[in-house]
With several copies, the nearest count.
Chain A
Amino acid sequence: MTETDLTYTTDEMMSVAAARALYDGASCFVGIGLPSTAANLARRTHAANLTLIYEAGALGAKPDRLPLSIGDGILGETADAVVSVPEVFNYWLQPGRIDVGFLGAAQLDRFANINTTVIGEYASPKVRLPGAGGAPEIAASCREVFVVVRQSRRTFVEQVDFVTSVGYGRDGTDRARLGLPGAGPTLVVTDLGIMRPDRETNELVLTGVHPGVDVERVREATGWDLRVAPDLATTPAPTATELTTLRELQAATGTDTGE
């Protein structure tokens, strides 16, 4: 047995921290890319009974490598049940059956609203992004939402240019007013640390930093005046098991995936 190299990248720390947030027995609606990496890592470490749901129609997928796309054949082949795309959204997501929606973001703001539509003006965008996909209803209907995204000033902005998926709305109070069934984003995991919404205002607050990251570095990568929790935690470094499992998953896949 070779010894695991315990040196890890910030992306590895992010995936490990995101995976840890998933609890055993949960059902998780998984976006491709970083969320899928984290969810599959969780299933292979502490959460063997995690039910992975992919929007292409796989309920309870058990891939032995990372899927390369949202409709990778391995998802259907290993699933408990394969259903049509309308059924995924109507029978499984919409009624609030799914515990955790696991999303990425191109922009994320102070109130955890997500933009994956455009940078700039909608009518004449600076950058046209892929669009909504399943995210608006995942964000609305899952019991809670985890967001995993690399942190930078370009991504973490005061106000998203476009609300593709609602976190807590433009002023943090929309969710209750809209009667959205799920609790919304309860956790944001980045390559630098961990944020959670303030219980009162729903503003994202830094509640944890990864080992070797100081608060100043996180604030520099955040486009608003980031509040820091009084009991700021430091994320435990990835364990050998976590790193080995993550690296094996990625090796089995052959290539890293990005949405």
Chain B
Amino acid sequence: MAEVVSLAEAVRSAVHDGDTLALEGFTHLIPVAAGQEIIRQRRRDLTLVRMTPDIVYDQLIGAGCARKLIFSWGGNPGVGSLHRFRDAVQNGWPAPLEVEEHSHAGMANRYVAGASGLPFAVLRGYAGTDLPGVTSTIKQITCPFTGEELAAVPALNPDVAIIHAQRADRAGNVQIWGLVGVQKEAVLASAHSIVTVEEVVDELTPVPGAIVLPSWAVTYVAEVPGGAHPSYAQGYSDRDNTYYQAWDAISRERDTFESWVSREVLV
């Protein structure tokens, strides 16, 4: 059963140096506050997993928390590049960043395999691309019935999945609606999970399009209103597009980034 705790306590208990973490969210419901709490608690040597690393991963990378990134698309959505990510890959600042890159289809299926307790997933993917040449976690597999060759990718099983959701009840059942992305799979694939929510309520009244993660599949729930900012939480907040644009300037140079971290996160 999930424990309802503070975000700081959840991160302190669940996230350790050297862990593999998946902070998931597909534009919607990105667990930004949780990512910044990890920076605040100065976790190091993390392997960060995400289909669409965006500014919260740029922040984690720039702050020196990450050793490796497993991903399929890294950018500032609607704006451009992630400068801290680029600086780490191109110049090794503040630390070299190992990358393991896949396509979205591959990453989604790696989570599905992880959530399903399977060691690998099969997909039609990667054929003819240069990705298998640079990513060792892409192999071929032969259909035992038709002889067809397909791609195989290994399961993702992070130590901790971290997501943001609209609501949880006091028992720790989590309700998510709108674009739900790959969050359920990330939580089910991981050994532990932290779910930040807009609010903890007495009862989860049904909402069209909502899915529920039962309490016994979640480790920690933390109430963090606005915890997805600058992304949005459908029914609670709109996307702060200005922030995404402002991030481009903040993150472009190392010193503006560092003063931002000191000022906005490490306080």
Residues of chain A at the chain B interface (Cβ within 8 Å): 25, 27, 32, 49, 51, 55-60, 68-73, 75-77, 80-82, 84-86, 89-91, 93-97, 117, 122, 124-137, 140-141, 162-166, 169, 174-175, 178-181, 255, 257-259
Known contacts A84-B185, A85-B51; is A76 also within 8 Å of B116 by CB?
no
Residues of chain B lying within 8 A (CB to CB) of residue A25 = 1
Q: Identify which of residues 217-241 in chain B touch chain A, using a CB-to-CB cut-off of 8 Å.
A: 217, 232, 234, 238-239, 241
Verify B78–A258 contact, CB threshold 8 A: yes
Q: Per DSSP, are chain B's interface residues mostly helix, strand or loop, or mixed?
A: loop
Which of B130, B180, B213 contacts A84 (CB under 8 A)? B180
Residues of chain A lying within 8 A (CB to CB) of residue B211 = 81
Q: How many residues of B contact A (CB 8 A)?
A: 67
Verify B26–A57 contact, CB threshold 8 A: yes
| A and B contact pairs by CB, cutoff 8 A, 14 listed | A49-B1, A55-B104, A76-B234, A80-B215, A82-B179, A84-B182, A85-B26, A124-B90, A128-B86, A128-B89, A133-B104, A140-B128, A163-B128, A255-B241
Q: Identify which of residues 69-95 in chain B touch chain A, using a CB-to-CB cut-off of 8 Å.
A: 71-75, 77-82, 85-86, 89-90
**Nearest 9 A/B pairs, CB to CB:** A71-B27, A95-B117, A133-B73, A130-B75, A166-B128, A81-B212, A69-B77, A89-B105, A86-B108
Residues of chain B lying within 8 A (CB to CB) of residue A178 = 127-128
Verify B125–A85 contact, CB threshold 8 A: no
Verify A73–B239 contact, CB threshold 8 A: yes
Verify A69–B27 contact, CB threshold 8 A: yes
A69–B82 Cα gap in the complex (Å)?
Answer: 15
Verify A131–B72 contact, CB threshold 8 A: yes
B173 at the binding interface (Cβ < 8 Å) = yes
Residues of chain B lying within 8 A (CB to CB) of residue A75 = 179
A134–B234 Cα gap in the complex (Å)?
Answer: 24
A133–B73 Cα gap in the complex (Å)?
Answer: 5
B214 at the binding interface (Cβ < 8 Å) = yes
A59–B73 Cα gap in the complex (Å)?
Answer: 21
Which of B26, B109, B115, B184 contacts A56 (CB under 8 A)? B26
Verify B124–A141 contact, CB threshold 8 A: yes
B111 at the binding interface (Cβ < 8 Å) = yes
B5 at the binding interface (Cβ < 8 Å) = no
- Give 12 new A-B contacts, CB below 8 A, not counting A49-B1, A76-B179, A136-B129: A51-B216, A55-B104, A68-B239, A76-B209, A80-B214, A85-B182, A86-B109, A95-B115, A128-B90, A132-B73, A135-B103, A141-B117
Verify A136–B182 contact, CB threshold 8 A: no
Verify B117–A132 contact, CB threshold 8 A: no
